[in-house]
């Protein structure tokens, strides 16, 4: 710790000295390593204009330094001055045509310009001279992926992994590309092959877990993550993903433990706090859930999921006015989220704000007309208010969107019977029974009178095949 403090102080003094000389117009002279440290500091802190100034001064003093040329090209790229960056690299390439670092950066910048074919050509030319061939294959994969050629990208990532099984970026991107290409299931044998060749690779087990999780094979995913953790107990991402898989299995106590281990290993983050809160919410420990959602928000005020989580917790405690306040906070951050609109609609309804509830349901429906619950709940408010015609109209619109949903036909039957439109009601009842006979029980919730239930049962019984 004392060594780190000393280095930080030396770095701070170096930057201070450089900036004072720059301000005073003095002749600036530093050693090559000092310049590289100054430039690196500015890049890491996003101060690209200052980094560029340092590069310009440094390259005058050290015109043959390949490291400075690469630094300057990187800074120009960060400033989106791609043509200038490529021009510098082109000139450096004349003197060092086989320099892997120059050509790799050149290829990366061409990718940023959308020149994927040219970038891939350069990366392939670099391969024979590169020490870290896995990184070159990874860059080839990224170029193909950016071009939308996911099968070719997957092949490049496989080559990267064959060069270096611990290339975590390639392992992760491979799973993504295979998922998009619809070959995720087939990739399991690929991961099994690597595990057979290196059963103590925590990364191989971890990435197999990612694939299994994407395939909804949660139990098997849990096993893979647990093997990764057994090999490397401090593998924070494996603990985190283990928690997600356990959440999918509704093993909330175990998921909470996994997320808390992640927190211990990685330190605080909005995402980890949010997942701990979600675990507590599922366990119905709402006060603790709210506590951790607030911790998440303290780190990231724009974390809409945390604001939403607090709103849901208050709703589950029937504290509807508090729920509305926090749900609206989430909605301000993400106004296109149909689930947020739906949740606000439900909260407004329970708070007795019928007009606001109807408006929120309409917004949710506009964003996602395939949401069955919205059609049912939205129309029910009109039905409850005695406006059968509007309720019928909404359900009919819902059927246009979801023609295979038996729930909508049963609900329409109920509304039509209540409106005295028996002939139409029985027509839609027939459709509902054909779509899903067992769902007919929902009708009886609308008609508690025994006489009505008996009459309906006689009609329904004709379809009991």
CA distance 340 to 230: 39
CA distance 29 to 32: 9
Q: Of the residues 97, 132, 164, which one is the last residue of a structural domain?
A: 97
CA distance 234 to 231: 9
310, part of any domain: no
Residue 254: other Cβ atoms inside 10 A: 16
433, part of any domain: yes
Q: Of the residues 97, 122, 146, which one is the last residue of a structural domain?
A: 97
286, part of any domain: no
**Structural domain total, the chain:** 2
458, part of any domain: yes
**What per-residue confidence (pLDDT) applies to 5?**
52
CATH number of the domain enclosing 379: 1.25.40.10
69, part of any domain: yes
The candidate with the shortest Cα–Cα distance to 175, out of 120, 149, 216, 212, is 212
Give yes or no for a contact between 221 and 237, defined as CB atoms under 8 angstroms apart: no
pLDDT tens, position by position, 86-141: 888 887 766 777 778 888 888 888 998 999 999 999 899 889 888 889 999 999 99
Half-sphere exposure of residue 44: CA atoms within 13 angstroms, side-chain side: 7
The 3-class secondary structure across 319-362, one letter per residue, is: CHHHHHHHHHHHHHHCCCCHHHHHHHHHHHHHCCCHHHHHHHHH
- Give the torsion sign (CA, 68, 70, 71, 72): positive
| Domain encompassing residue 433 | 369-465
CA distance 347 to 349: 5
**What per-residue confidence (pLDDT) applies to 380?**
96
11, part of any domain: yes
Residue with tokens 């209540």: 418
CA distance 456 to 433: 12
- Per-residue pLDDT in tens (0 to 9) along the chain, 465 residues: 445 556 676 777 777 877 777 777 667 777 788 888 888 888 888 888 888 888 888 887 887 777 888 888 888 888 888 888 888 888 776 677 777 888 888 888 899 899 999 999 989 988 988 888 999 999 999 999 999 999 999 999 989 988 887 787 887 888 889 888 888 887 888 888 888 888 988 888 998 998 899 899 999 999 999 999 999 999 999 999 999 999 999 999 999 999 999 999 999 999 999 999 999 999 999 999 999 999 999 999 999 999 999 999 999 999 999 999 999 999 999 999 999 999 999 999 999 999 999 999 999 999 999 999 999 999 999 999 999 999 999 999 999 999 999 999 999 999 999 999 988 988 999 898 888 888 888 888 887 777 777 777 877 877 665
Q: Cα 400 from chain centroid?
A: 32
463, part of any domain: yes
Q: Of the residues 97, 117, 148, which one is the last residue of a structural domain?
A: 97
284: left (phi over 0), alpha (psi -120 to 50) or beta: left
Helix, strand or coil, per DSSP, at residue 382: helix
17, part of any domain: yes
């Amino acid at each position: 710790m004392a060594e780190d403090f000393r280095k930080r102080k030396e770095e701070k003094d170096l930057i201070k000295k450089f900036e004072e000389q720059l301000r005073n117009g003095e002749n600036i002279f530093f050693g090559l390593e000092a310049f590289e440290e100054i430039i690196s500091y500015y890049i890491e802190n996003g101060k690209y204009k200052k980094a560029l100034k340092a590069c310009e001064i440094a390259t005058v003093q050290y015109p043959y330094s390949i490291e400075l040329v690469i630094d300057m090209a990187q800074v120009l790229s960060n400033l989106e001055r791609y043509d200038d960056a490529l021009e510098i690299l082109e000139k450096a390439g004349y003197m060092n045509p086989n320099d892997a670092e120059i050509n790799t950066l050149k290829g990366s910048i061409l990718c940023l310009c959308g020149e994927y074919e040219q970038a891939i050509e350069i990366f392939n030319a670099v391969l024979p001279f590169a020490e870290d061939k896995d990184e070159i294959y990874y860059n080839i994969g990224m170029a193909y992926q950016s071009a939308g050629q996911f099968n070719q990208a997957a092949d490049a990532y496989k080559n990267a992994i064959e060069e270096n099984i611990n290339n975590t970026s390639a392992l992760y991107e491979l799973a993504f590309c295979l998922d998009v290409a619809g070959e995720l299931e087939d990739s399991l044998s690929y991961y099994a092959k690597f595990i057979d060749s290196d059963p103590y690779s925590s990364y191989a087990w971890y990435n197999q877990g990612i694939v299994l999780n994407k395939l909804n094979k949660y139990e098997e995913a849990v096993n893979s993550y647990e093997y990764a953790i057994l090999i490397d107990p401090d593998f924070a991402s494996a603990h985190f993903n283990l928690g997600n898989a356990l959440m999918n299995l509704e093993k909330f106590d175990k998921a909470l433990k996994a997320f808390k281990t992640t927190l211990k290993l990685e330190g605080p983050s909005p995402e980890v706090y949010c997942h701990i809160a979600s675990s507590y919410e599922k366990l119905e420990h709402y006060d603790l859930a709210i506590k951790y959602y607030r911790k998440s928000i303290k780190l990231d005020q724009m974390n809409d999921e945390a604001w939403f989580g607090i709103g849901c917790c208050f709703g589950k405690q029937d504290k509807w006015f508090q729920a509305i306040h926090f749900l609206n906070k989430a909605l301000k951050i993400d106004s296109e989220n149909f689930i947020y609109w739906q949740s606000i609609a439900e909260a407004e309804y329970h708070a007795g704000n019928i007009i606001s509830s109807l408006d929120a349901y309409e917004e949710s429906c506009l964003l996602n007309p395939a949401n069955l619950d919205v059609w049912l709940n939205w129309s029910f408010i009109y039905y409850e208010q005695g406006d059968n015609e509007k309720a019928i109209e909404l359900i009919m619109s819902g059927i246009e969107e979801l023609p295979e949903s038996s729930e909508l036909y049963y609900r329409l039957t109920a509304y039509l019977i209540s409106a005295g439109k028996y002939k139409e009601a029985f027509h839609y009842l027939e459709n509902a029974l054909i779509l899903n006979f067992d769902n007919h029980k929902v009708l009886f919730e609308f008609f508690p009178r025994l006489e009505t239930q008996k009459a309906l049962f006689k009609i329904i019984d004709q379809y009991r095949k």
